[in-house]
A and B are shown apart, each in its own frame.
Chain A
Amino acid sequence: MTLLSDRDQDQLQDQAPEVRRNTATLRSEDVLTAIGAAVAAVCLTALIFYWIAPFSGALGFVVVAFVAFLALYAVLLWLDGDGPSVRDRLVSAIVHGLAALLLVALVFVVSFTLIKGFSALVHPNFFTEDLSVTGPLAPLTEGGGLHALVGTLEQIGLALLITIPVGLLCALFLSELRGPFPRLVRTVVEAMTALPSIVAGLFIYATVLLIFGFEPSGFAASLAISVMMLPIMIRAADVVLRLVPGHLKEASFALGASRWRTAWTVVLPTARPGLATAIILATARGIGETSPVLLTAGYTKALNTDAFHDPQVSLPLATFMLIKSPEPNVVARGYGTAALLMVLVLLLFVIARLVGGRGPQELTPRQRRARARASARDFARFQRREASAPVTTPAGEEIP
């Protein structure tokens, strides 16, 4: 601790009260420079487009305007800045421009389908009827996409029935055991994530349909989806399982738990949100795949709830088939099935976020209350035991 002498204290009082300094990185000149450059760029581009050169088109206008903006902005910055600061602002402008372009493009792609599909989705019959008796010229108040929705749900359900147990066990195998065998399996699984989905479809087409003589059906499609989904799920789950902290497992072993107990009570619960995310994201990939289904499921306009016999159509396949029609109403139904598919994926994605959004140590309020109750029960148990039998040290002395 330092004591100030009288003189120091006098000096301090003489000084004016310190003004709070502005630490913001954005100055008002910067904003004005950017606005000025933008206005100049738009005017210059308009001049080029409408008076000087024979250019046209909205996209071209935006691109030329952006390039002009960058050039003008650089000149304006050069007036009161040095090299590094000019470069910094320019890169910042370019990054913002690229990000905005990609974001706008992606949002446009997605909303294009949703908006176009809206005209078919507003009619409730879209969810209750199939297309078996609906002609190509029928209005949107007849027919619907029920057959495709049912097909998608059955096919992805069957595929999950195969992939979840096998995939999770295999991921556990990869993360729990050491040696050359798991390494080999991991390499092969990683290789198979590169399998193009159409080739997976071709494999099932050539084996299940042509060699074993099954007819095109939802089951064959779910097999093709499984072949494609399995490596993706195993790899994602393996990554999640390897992120389980080693000290948790070691603590479990130190308490005398067996490997099986440790996996069941420590590894899997810790990794549960991540595993759920892995499963759900693999499901989202599987649900939207068109090409394996195209080769294996056949195509029908009628509702078919039996996945093992007769062709069964799914949402992406129905979209693919309907969209090629010249009739506007059929095309509108195609947009409707695509929008429905996207809503399904969105739903899966939101569930994945809710389940996997928090880390292994963070708890929901409900889980926290459950932990508190368990802790209170343990405390009561300890107190009861203390009351019934006095605790002693190894030497036999009673603890007061």
Chain B
Amino acid sequence: MNGLSGNTWFTVAGIGLSETLLLSIALTGLFALLAYVLGRSLSASPGRLQVVAEAALTLMTEAVAEVVPPAAVPRVLPFIATLWLFILAANLLGLVPGLSAPTRDLSVTAALAVLVFLAVHVYGVRAAGWRRYLRHYLQPSPILLPFHLISELTRTLALAVRLFGNMMSLEMAALLVLLVAGFLVPVPLLLLHVIEALVQAYIFGMLALIYIGGALEAASTSESPSPKEPAT
């Protein structure tokens, strides 16, 4: 790890492939393999892995259904579920000795935040159309349009920086404790890392879900305000 950005492990055609990018691609491959294997082994009498996968998918479906309208759940669920799974796996990857969490790279968290930013507008426009969706930026008064735009930018920036800052600081703290203290002292910190990984993944996904839900809500009723962003 070089500074706060990932190390460049390979260079292909003059393009440097960083550690975080390669780990992200590895995670994608791992998820794809797991999904393929699980998808091929689905049966009417599920095994343990299928039961866990179905339980996780059911939980995520219920969480999404609590925020967005029921009709939008099938469209929103894949994006939010993938966000949760990817960020959780990426956060936990920092526990593997010799590897660092991809989410401690601002480029990764910024890419995820931009994806959320784009997804919010894509879902909003698909639900209500351009005119109706853009009109909600003028509600309740056109004077508030700059504030709406600033809000869109700042919350996207907050998403990226929050996840990046939490994971980076956590790993830095763990590294410092490991350097200063003995062998067993960092163990509680590693447990905290697990909790933090879960919480940050949940927060990022829930915030994305709330933003999308706000866009869908604004599309359906341009009068109603967007849901408030929960404090973290």
A binds B: no
